[in-house]
Every structure is written in C-alpha cells, then in structure tokens.
A = this chain, B = another copy of it.
Amino acid sequence: MTTRRKSPVETEAIQPQMCSVDVRQHILRHVPFFAMLSEEDIGRINQSFREQGFEAGEPIYYAGDPAARLYVVAAGKVKQMRHSLTGQDVLLDILSEGDFFGSLSILGDETYPDTVLAQTGICALSIDSEGFREILQAYPPVALEVLNITGQRLRGAQEAVHQLSAYSVEQRLAYTLLKLMDKLGEAQEVGVLIQMPLSRDDLAAMTGATTETISRIMSQFQKAGWIKSGRQWVAIRDSEALREVAAGG
C-alpha cells in the first residue's frame, strides 16, 4: 500500500465525519481548558458550539472582519498571520488540535487583528463571543485555564520579539525549527519529521526573513547533516547542533 508521493508528511484528509456532531463531544473533552469538566457539563457546552470544515488554503477569517467568534481547532493545522501594506506577510503562530483562536476580548465590537488560514484541511468548532463569555462565567476553572494558556502565549510572543531584536536569521531559523519539532515532531527514519506541509516561504514568514535567505541557510544546515528537507517538508536529524546555533554557537 505504498503510495507514490515523495513527501514523508502525511496530509491525512479531514473526512467530513470527523466534524460530525457525534464526535464533537469527544473532541471538546480533549480541549485543554475543558478537560476538567464533567461529561454532563461538556454536553451542555457542546450545544453552544457549531462545527465547520475548511479545505487547505481556505481562510477562516480575514484581518479587519468583525470579531464575532472564538474557534477551537478540532483537527488539522491553521496559520495565524498578519499582512503588511507592502505585501510582506508575517506568520505569528501555527495552531493545531485543541488550540483556540479568534475573538477573546469579551467586549464585542472590535475586528480581528489577524488573518487565519487553514494550512491543511481542518475541522473547527466555534462559538460566538457571547456564548463563550457565558461559559467562562458559568465555569470559573475554565476561565483560569484560558487565562493560563493566554499568559503562556504572551510569553511566547515576547520571546519572539526578543529573538527578532537580538538574533541573526540563522539563529532564529534554528530556534523556529526546534520549536516546530517540539510541537509537531514525529520520529521517523529520516529523523524527527515536522508533521505538516512547511515551505521555505512559511519559514521566511515565521522568522522575518526572505525566502531566498531561508533557502540558503537550510542548504547549509542540510549540508552539515543537521536536517533533511524537501519540497514542503523538514525533518530534524541533529537537534543538539541546532540548539547550539540558536544559542549563538
């Protein structure tokens, strides 16, 4: 049953039934900030959510759209982006199963500051801001957990600011690859494979550099035997070496 494709990344097609009502409750149970609730409570919460499928490349929403809903990724990966007037795009984060995005501020009316795109086919659960606020009020432990996660993300974003301010592209790329490995890595023969389609363009948008510069450095890394990479995929073979580069070796 070997296919003919070259990329080791398995872009498991998101089946419509993965989004069905039947499995929604199961998915919600595995969302970090609902994990502590009883089956009964989750059932109640479930009713406020609705599910939605998106194909790879499709936008979930655009920057500037009125911010009305909060989303939870049930399956697949999404890219959270900001675009500039110059056309230069910045990839802020990659979110996967259990991560949330969208409207957090309880005070309605604003617009989304970023664009979110489906990187693979995805299934998302969503709820309107009003409904989410009600859940947070009804279940204070959930609010604390959401606060916790948001705090962690804030620190992550501050670390990114630090990186961009103080380190070279080479260091930032090494750091980014390590972070992706921690988040999406999967041990395989080629090395620890980053389980998602990932182009040089994506890496450029994540590190604040150009495609060409990233390509050059990736070639170096590969020549050194630290990574193995092809069209839209990357595997890490020597994370220790990358760690040293990231730290300024």
Q: Which residues of B contact A140 (CB under 8 A)?
A: 136-137, 140, 143
Q: Which residues of B contact A107 (CB under 8 A)?
A: 148
Query: Which of B104, B114, B144 is in CB contact (< 8 Å) with A151?
Result: B104
Q: Which residues of B contact A143 (CB under 8 A)?
A: 140, 143-144, 147
User: What's the Cα separation between A150 and B113 when bound, in Å?
Assistant: 15
Closest chain B CB from A117 CB (angstroms):
16
Closest chain B CB from A115 CB (angstroms):
12
Closest chain B CB from A214 CB (angstroms):
13
The segment from A86-94, A118-126, A216-224 found at the interface with B is A86-94
Interface centre among A92, A158, A159, A248 (most CB of B within 10 A): A158
Query: Which of B136, B148, B165, B167 is in CB contact (< 8 Å) with A144?
Result: B136
Q: Which residues of B contact A9 (CB under 8 A)?
A: none
Would you call A184 an interface residue if the criterion is a C-beta within 8 Å of the partner chain's C-beta atoms? no
Which DSSP category, helix, strand, loop or mixed, fits chain A's interface? helix
Q: Mark A58-83, 1 if CB is under 8 A from B, else 0.
A: 00000000000000000000000010
Given A143-B147, A150-B151 in contact, is the A82-B164 Cβ separation under 8 Å?
A: no
Closest chain B CB from A53 CB (angstroms):
27
Would you call A84 an interface residue if the criterion is a C-beta within 8 Å of the partner chain's C-beta atoms? yes
Which B-chain residue is minimally distant from A92 (CB atoms)?
B158
Query: Which of B86, B136, B161 is in CB contact (< 8 Å) with A166?
Result: B86
A-B contacts besides A105-B151, A113-B158, 9 pairs, CB < 8 Å: A85-B248, A86-B248, A104-B151, A136-B144, A140-B143, A153-B154, A154-B157, A157-B161, A164-B164
Top 4 closest pairs, chain A to chain B, by CB: A165-B208, A157-B157, A164-B164, A104-B151
Show 12 A/B contacts (Cβ-Cβ < 8 Å), sorted by A: A82-B158, A84-B166, A84-B167, A104-B151, A105-B148, A106-B147, A113-B158, A143-B143, A147-B147, A147-B150, A165-B205, A165-B208
